[in-house]
Amino acid sequence: MSPGQPLHGVADRARLRLPQQAFDQGDCSALSKAYSRLAVNHFWLRLSGFHDVNSLDNRDPKVLERFADIAGPILWKWFRPRVRGLDNIPNGGALYVCNHNGGFMTPDTWILAVSLTRERGVDDVPYALAHQVVMEAPLTNQMLPAMGAIAANPENAHRVFAAGRKVLVYPGGDLDAFRPSRDRGRVVFGPRRGYVRLALREGVPIIPVVSAGSHDVWWVVSDGRWLSRLLRTHRFLRTDVLPITVSVPWGLTVGAPPFLPLPVRIFIDVLKPIYFERSGPEAADDASYVEECHQRVLDAMQLALEQLTQDRRLIRQERLRAGLHRATHFLSRASHG
């Protein structure tokens, strides 16, 4: 059922979610679940202010500009970001492919959006393909659509590309966003190759965007895949992880509640666009070619992440040396005073 679509009779809508034999055999349990789900959905979609998560018309350029004006100074003060490579962005449709950090807080997403708004204008701020659960949650449904977030599916992406605009995806999704902190220097996409098939089918280049530092805003002890399998969270949360984290102010927790991110420095590089020799449905259906393209993107992003991590390490070392020098100088003057 697409959000915002009217319900023309409960039984008709239920048939879209249940096999025909459930009706034919009078499967009361299955029918009861379907009617309950439809009743909740019917009520939720009629709450005032609910945004259709598949609509491109929710995006408001003024909201993006106000967000840049208000949140920008706060983000720059707290995270001291360095953003490079915005001049690598081509005109027209393209697919931003990013590594995912910091769980749901994902501060690098907001930093990138502010940088694009300031330097390139709102037209180059992409439509972000977001998890259906996130898009339909009460709070985020009031905020994200106005900033250009839409439910993640190929049909929505096609409509954006057809309009000559850009789309942003996080191929690693929950696997990347909740990877253990010991793996913060890795790009984790897992088995997901849909982003490559999308770019090939639509004939658009991929713009890799790599961020370092934003996974240090908390500590992920474990991604909790074993716990997710045990509790079968994929059935009701559509996620394969249930992270065990340490954050401010919650301390050690299971799950990912909103938290206060630590004021770490964040570096973001927008890499040169990657164009593929082949495109179209035939290329998208060629598993070996899809894997080849995926490896090309992943290798470029991993190399960039390692370089950014090294840059951050060198800057920390320089600041530490400068601090020790100042302390030594102060103590020397004090001893001679």
Dist CA 220 CA 236 (whole Å): 23
Domain locations along the chain: 10-44, 61-218+262-321, 222-260
Q: Are 189 and 171 in contact (CB under 8 A)?
A: yes
Give how far Cα 68 sits from Cα of 23, 65, 169, Å. 52, 5, 21
Fold of the domain built from segment(s) 61-218+262-321: Glycerol-3-phosphate (1)-acyltransferase (3.40.1130)
Beta-bridge partners for 246: 219, 252
Task: Note the pLDDT of residue 32.
Answer: 57
Task: Note the pLDDT of residue 2.
Answer: 41
* Gap between the terminal Cα atoms of the chain: 78
Dist CA 177 CA 170 (whole Å): 9
What crossing angle do the helices spanning 61-79 and 107-119 adopt, rounded to 10°? 120
Dist CA 280 CA 168 (whole Å): 20
Give me 304's structure tokens. Answer: 């960039």
Give me 104's structure tokens. Answer: 């749901």
Give me 228's structure tokens. Answer: 């997710």
pLDDT in single tens digits along all 337 residues of the chain: 444 443 333 334 334 444 454 445 555 566 555 555 554 454 444 444 678 899 999 999 999 999 999 999 999 999 999 999 999 999 999 999 999 999 989 999 999 999 999 999 998 999 999 887 788 888 788 889 999 999 999 999 999 999 999 999 999 999 999 999 999 999 999 999 999 999 999 999 999 999 999 999 999 999 999 999 999 988 888 889 999 999 999 999 999 999 999 999 999 999 999 999 999 999 999 999 999 999 999 999 999 999 999 999 999 898 888 888 888 888 888 877 6
The three state secondary structure string of the chain is CCCCCCCCCHHHHHHCCCCHHHHHCCCHHHHHHHHHHHHHHHHHCCCCCCCCCCCCCCCCHHHHHHHHHHHHHHHHHHHCCEEECHHHCCCCCEEEEECCCCCCCCHHHHHHHHHHHHHCCHHHCCEEEECHHHHHCHHHHHHCHHHCEEECCHHHHHHHHHCCCEEEECCCHHHHHCCCHHHCCCCCCCCCCHHHHHHHHHCCCEEEEEEECHHHHCEEEECCHHHHHHHCCHHHHCCCCCCEEEEECCEEEECCCCCECCCCCCEEEECCCECCCCCCHHHHCCHHHHHHHHHHHHHHHHHHHHHHHHHHHHHHHHHHHHHHHHHHHHHHHHHHC
Task: Note the pLDDT of residue 306.
Answer: 98
Dist CA 82 CA 66 (whole Å): 21
Would the pTM count as exceeding 0.75?
yes
- φ, ψ of residue 286 in degrees (nearest 5): -90, 100
Query: Tokens 């055999």 sit at which residue?
Result: 25
Side chain identity at residue 42, one-letter code: H
Side chain identity at residue 118, one-letter code: R
